[in-house]
Amino acid sequence: MSVVDAAASVFCREGYAGANIDLISAEAGVSRQTVYNHHGDKRNLFVAVVRDLTERCNAGIFATIATFPDQPADLEADLIAFAVRMNRNCICNRDGRFLRKLIQAEGERYPELFAEWREQGPGRTWSALAARFARLAFAGHLSIGDPDVAARQFLALVNAELQITFMLGGIPTEEEVLRSATNGVRTFLAAFARKKSPAGKQAALVHA
């Protein structure tokens, strides 16, 4: 395990103040001196960890968003599968859990450190996802007012049942992820599936 990876693990488990270099070097399988040689400083090492996690997480998120179902065969099934991928590859995986925990624990103390994440992470991520939903709406698969709102609500719904697990730093089972995603997507589609306008015209435009 690389030094930065070990450091990420220890920082997350023990918090910045509680982490000590001996633990990190032991977990990385190198001597303490090597840690100092490479990163000079505890603070510096922490910065490297955050950068590393931010980068990998963003890459993972964008890679996953690229698999968004633009031409869905079965909209519900495709969105559920997408939600499950999102969870597995971006939110529940090692990097996602670690970054989330570091942001929660140290975000207030090092605002400048996470400013980069704030802009490049959620900012771009949500925009990208919103664009995909807008495209689905444009293609007639959904009826969406504000795509940004819809994207945020999609993520919120799909993770609704995993909140406590996340809060306690746990890892939901595959089954929990699937259940939460299924329930979330069904509600999402109940709200946004293309259907009558508020007035209630039902049978228009069924030319699929």
The tokens describing 8, both together, are 């990420």
Mask for 156-175, x = binds a second copy (CB under 8 A): xx-xxx-xx--xxx------
Tell which one of 43, 109, 118, 196 touches DNA (CB under 7 A).
43
* CA 47 to chain CA mean position, Å: 20
Tell which one of 21, 30, 47, 191 touches a second copy (CB under 8 A).
191
Mask for 60-89, x = binds a second copy (CB under 8 A): ------------------------------
Tell which one of 13, 27, 36, 176 touches DNA (CB under 7 A).
36
Separation of alpha carbons 133 and 127, rounded Å = 10
Q: Where are the alpha helices (DSSP H) in 87-201?
A: 94-106, 111-118, 124-138, 147-158, 163-167, 174-192
What, of DNA, a second copy, none, does residue 54 touch, CB below 5 to 8 Å by kind? Answer: none
Separation of alpha carbons 156 and 164, rounded Å = 13
What, of DNA, a second copy, none, does residue 22 touch, CB below 5 to 8 Å by kind? Answer: DNA
3 state SS of 142: strand
Does 47 participate in binding DNA (rule CB under 7 A)?
no
Does 188 participate in binding a second copy (rule CB under 8 A)?
yes
CA quadruple 126, 131, 132, 133: dihedral positive or negative? positive
* CA 163 to chain CA mean position, Å: 13
Contacting positions for DNA (CB under 7 A): 19-22, 29-34, 36-38, 40-43
